[in-house]
């Protein structure tokens, strides 16, 4: 790759790879020296990973203010050590199980709009 080539790559990141892994796998075969991503996806997450190459890496901070949308699946009543699907289940709740309508109402009330997420 010539140093004058500057571009973005849109990668559908598969589960099992870190965002850094994706950059590393592209760097050598494409002959890329300057490469970076615009936001980290957890190794278990899949989805769009925007990769900046060459001088486009200077534009990465502009993506930090972009709106991101997440789609998830949740498992109610179970807790893992790391609060994600990558560790062992350490607790199961066998009490009341809310119906779908109750869950949808709660999600709409508490998880709609701008949300500042604080890591556990």
Concerning whether 21 is annotated as a catalytic residue, the answer is no
Catalytic option among 12, 42, 66, 84: 42
Q: Any bridge partners for residue 13, and if so which?
A: 47
Q: Do residues 14 and 45 lie in contact, with contact meaning Cβ atoms separated by under 8 Å?
A: no
78 close to 36: Cβ distance less than 8 angstroms: no
Give the whole-angstrom CA distance, residue 30 versus residue 27.
6
Strands 35-37 and 47-53 turn out to be: antiparallel
Query: Phi, psi at residue 114, to the nearest 5°?
Result: -75, 125
Query: Annotated catalytic sites, by residue?
Result: 42
């Amino acid at each position: 790759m010539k140093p004058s080539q500057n571009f973005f790559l849109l990668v559908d990141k598969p589960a099992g790879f870190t965002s850094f892994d994706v950059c590393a796998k592209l760097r050598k075969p494409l002959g890329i020296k300057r490469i970076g991503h615009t936001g980290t996806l957890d190794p278990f997450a899949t989805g769009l990973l925007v990769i900046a190459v060459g001088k486009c890496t200077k534009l990465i901070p502009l993506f930090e203010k972009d709106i991101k949308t997440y789609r998830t699946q949740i498992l109610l009543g179970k807790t893992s050590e790391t609060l994600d699907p990558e560790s062992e289940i350490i607790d199961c709740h066998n009490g009341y199980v809310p119906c779908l309508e109750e869950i949808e109402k709660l999600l709409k009330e508490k998880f709609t709009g701008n949300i500042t997420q604080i890591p556990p």
